[in-house]
Amino acid sequence: MGNTLDQKYVEACAWKPDIFKGKVAFITGGAGTICRVQTEALVLLGADAVILGRNQKKTEDAAAEIQKLRPGARVIGIGNVDVREVQSIAKAVEVTVKELGRIDFVIAGAAGNFLSDFNHLSSNAFKSVVSIDLLGSFNTVKACFNELKKSKGAILFVSATLHYYGVPFQSHVGAAKAGVDALSNALAVEFGPSGIRTNCIAPGAIANTEGMERLSPPGETSLDKRVPLQRLGTTQDIADATVFLFSPAASYITGTVQVVDGALWQVGSPMGNLYPGVMISQNEDNVSKL
């Protein structure tokens, strides 16, 4: 299987066909690798969807491709959305309700990331990642809350495992994702009486994704051998975890973080081979940027 799913997923997976028939999913970052495969799984299993992104053409093209996966599916791509601005998302919610009638599932998946040690990480760069990842997650739920309350829906934040330990070159993302986990936990308690569930999914090293290409440690050629399960994750692993957390099988599960990483986080940072040599060099040779 490549980076995307197809009808074979329905034929081979453990999930009942049309399990999400009549449901509508609202996904930020839906044209990206991880969030796209999450959307594909939901659509293949009966849901309609709206995906949001910054790049209009990329988002609309992805929506058109996903819509073809299931006869009768309706998938709308809305570009030029900035998750840092809540009104930008609110307008997309209006379009979703007008075109598809409701919102049952929300995936807050828009994210920003790049490698940078502290000395090269400016205050504006740190703020940008926190604004996209954490504030963007808050804004997504804020804009969708009224619809979720009507449907007694479910929220899934896309987190990470970077904040489970100190990961060099990822202080900005680790701080943002720790905030996402905390936000999800608090909302699970606040929203529970309204029948809304909220959880996080924390992907690890997933093969053939933008994240792996951008974040693989330099010179690392055998990361799969460091994973206790002895393989990198696949996009189907993410799809299955997503389907489970939105399915009736998870109706009593809220306020949790579902780690999907083959237990890699249990054996330490995947960037451990850079420590401490590279960090000593960075700290000695560079003056911190403001």
* Percent above pLDDT 70 for the chain: 89
> What are residue 69's phi and psi, to 5 degrees?
-70, -30
pLDDT tens digit sequence for 10-26? 887 788 889 999 999 99
Which among 27, 1, 5 has a CA at the least distance from the CA of 239? 5
Torsion of CA 85, 89, 92, 98, to 10 degrees: -120
Q: Per-residue DSSP letters for 110-138?
A: --------GGG--HHHHHHHHIIIIIHHH
When pLDDT is cut at 50, 70 and 90, the band that residue 209 belongs to is: confident
∠ at Cα 259 (106, 52), nearest 5°? 25
Extents of the domains making up the chain: 18-285
**Residues acting as catalytic residues:** 159, 177
Is 3.30.70.1290 the CATH number for 18-285?
no
With a pLDDT cut of 90, the percent of the chain lying above it is 76
pLDDT at 164 exceeding the cut of 70 = yes
Residues 156, 255 contacting (CB under 8 angstroms): no
What pLDDT is attached to residue 102?
98
**Please, which pLDDT band fits residue 1 given cuts at 50, 70 and 90?**
very low
pTM here? Answer: 0.92
Task: For residue 276, say if its preceding peptide bond is cis, omega within 30 degrees of 0.
Answer: yes
- pLDDT interval class at 222 (50, 70, 90): confident
Place of tokens 């940072």: 269
Cα distance between residue 168 and residue 160, in whole Å: 15
